[in-house]
């Protein structure tokens, strides 16, 4: 797996981390990430998926409603959020690889309230793996790696590889949260 520490510490950009990676590397990294996500929920039971954890850092500045800004995310919520973000990165990377401009977002997130069982979140991770790998398969044989865009003002421009690993970086940023929720749920069960 890529060490995303330099990115999180703002010592490197996504494009810096993308240097030297190709489509096969992205497929391997996607499989590694999905395997890590599945391993992080391996000990979860259905009740853990909907348990509201204690999360003093809960602050979703992009929440749809003001009352959800400080909402602690359930395990189901984290899984559907992170998989949706990675799929969006893969979709935008495909657009860039085909030599086209990115003109809008490409995001769909399964309603988090529907993620209520371990089986559902495992299927969501596996579905996301399949979707992302399929998008990589759709890249042209000679992707347009000279096609760059900046997703947000102030962010360095990136090509298809940089955009794709942006989704993996986002996944990585939620792995510890997933593990923490599962651990917190296990502790609550043990104390009950």
Q: Which has more pLDDT, 68 or 111?
A: 111
For residues 161 and 21, is the Cβ–Cβ distance under 8 A?
yes
pLDDT tens digits, one per residue of 83-116 = 999 999 999 999 999 999 999 888 999 999 999 9
CA distances from 190 to 86, 126, 138, 144 (A): 34, 29, 47, 53
Based on the structure, what is the number of domains in the chain?
1
Structural tokens at position 65: 């409603």
Residue 161 lies in domain = 5-191
Mean pLDDT computed over every residue of the chain: 93
- Is the pLDDT at 1 greater than 90? The verdict is no
> What is the pTM for the complete model shown?
0.92
The domain that holds 140 is classified in CATH as 1.20.120
How is the chain split among helix, strand and coil, in percent rounded to 5? 60, 0, 40
């Amino acid at each position: 797996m890529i060490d995303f520490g330099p990115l999180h510490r703002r010592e490197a950009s996504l494009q810096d981390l993308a240097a030297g990676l190709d489509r096969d590397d992205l497929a391997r990294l996607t499989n590694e990430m999905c395997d890590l996500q599945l391993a992080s929920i391996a000990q979860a039971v259905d009740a853990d998926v909907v348990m509201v954890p204690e999360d003093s850092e809960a602050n979703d500045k992009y929440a749809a409603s003001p009352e959800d800004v400080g909402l602690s995310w359930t395990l189901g919520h984290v899984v559907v959020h992170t998989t949706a973000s990675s799929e969006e990165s893969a979709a935008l990377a495909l657009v860039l690889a085909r030599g086209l401009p990115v003109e809008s977002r490409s995001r769909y997130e399964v309603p988090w309230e529907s993620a209520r069982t371990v089986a559902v979140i495992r299927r969501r991770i596996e579905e996301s793996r399949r979707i992302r790998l399929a998008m990589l398969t759709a890249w042209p044989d000679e992707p347009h790696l000279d096609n760059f865009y900046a997703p947000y003002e102030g962010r360095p421009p990136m090509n298809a590889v940089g955009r794709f690993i942006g989704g993996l970086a986002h996944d990585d940023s939620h792995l510890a949260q997933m593990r923490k929720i599962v651990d917190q749920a296990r502790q609550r069960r043990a104390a009950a």
